[in-house]
Amino acid sequence: MSALPEELWRRILEIGVQRRGVSYKDLCCLSISSRRLHRLCDEDFLWSHLLSSDFPPFFSPSSSSITSAHSSSCKYLYKLRYERDRDKKIAAHRRAVLRKESQVLERFMRLRDMETRLAEETNKMRATLAELSNLSNVRQASVALNVWQPEIIRGRQKQIVEQCVVPVESRFHVLHMELKLCKQQILGLEKAHIDEKRRLALVEEELQSMRYHPLRDQKPINSGEVEFNIKRKKLKKCEVHCPGREP
């Protein structure tokens, strides 16, 4: 690097910035490599190009930003705009996470509502089946009254028939229709429940992906485990390379 003159380095950096081959990250990395590059990477004309290319609405030749650039360095102005833009992105990401959390809650509540309706329809079907069973007993008792039976059995069957205050056949038909409707409702709710559960899992996965941060979410490594692994590797090497060791 020391073999190249400073003007040549300045021209290289300028061409790189103008052609978007050098970004603000590259300038920051180059600036810590040597004192000369640190001085060159801080020059205003480089950051002026970056400011106008990365944030066009903020900095243009015809705007009043040039006036502020005279009082503050373009690197400082770039830093201010970068931080402002970063804060906007963070706020937008937080809003997106909140919206996704709201979707998860909405899906969860919808799922719970379906489960409640499914339980209600199941209980209704069980009650209908129980009433159908009772009506079936009434029908059997009604038929048995037409046949001679001992008085004790006949009295019991007559009591069963008299306890039924509705027409047996019409009620039997209505209950069969209700049972059919309950089964249809349960099948529809079960299918909708499976679909909604799948949608909830998908939205939860999207939320988890939005919350993921590669640096913050790394699992810490236990120093004891690292030391144990190192000792185990050394032991394996010793078993392989130590002469005279019996297998």
Look up residue 233 and give its two tokens: 């590797």
Could you give the CA distance from residue 59 to residue 232 in angstroms, rounded to a whole number? 59
Tell me, what's the pLDDT at 66? Answer: 47
Question: Does residue 222 fall inside a structural domain?
Answer: no
Are 196 and 141 members of one domain? Answer: yes
Do 98 and 67 share a domain, yes or no? no
Residues 198 and 94 in one domain: yes
Q: How many domains does the chain have?
A: 2
Residues 32 and 126 occupy one common structural domain: no
Cα 162 off chain centre by: 61
Q: 99 Cβ partners below 8 Å, 6+ apart?
A: none
Residue 19 domain-assigned (yes or no): yes
Classify residue 221: in a domain, yes or no: no
Q: Do 47 and 145 sit in the same domain of this protein?
A: no
Residue 117, domain member (yes or no): yes
Say whether both 125 and 207 belong to one domain.
yes
Going from the C-alpha of 205 to that of each of 48, 157, 201, the distances in angstroms are: 42, 62, 6
Both 113 and 150 in a single domain?
A: yes
Same domain for 41 and 108, yes or no, is no
The residue range of the domain holding 109 is 87-212
State how far the Cα of 149 lies from the Cα of 52, in Å rounded to an integer.
106
Give, for all 247 residues of the chain, the pLDDT tens digit.
556 788 888 888 888 888 888 888 898 898 888 888 888 888 888 888 888 888 876 544 444 444 444 446 888 989 999 999 999 999 999 999 999 999 999 999 999 999 999 999 999 999 989 888 877 766 665 655 555 555 555 566 555 555 555 566 777 788 888 899 999 999 999 999 999 999 999 999 999 998 887 776 555 555 555 455 555 555 555 444 444 444 4
Answer yes or no: do 25 and 98 share one domain: no
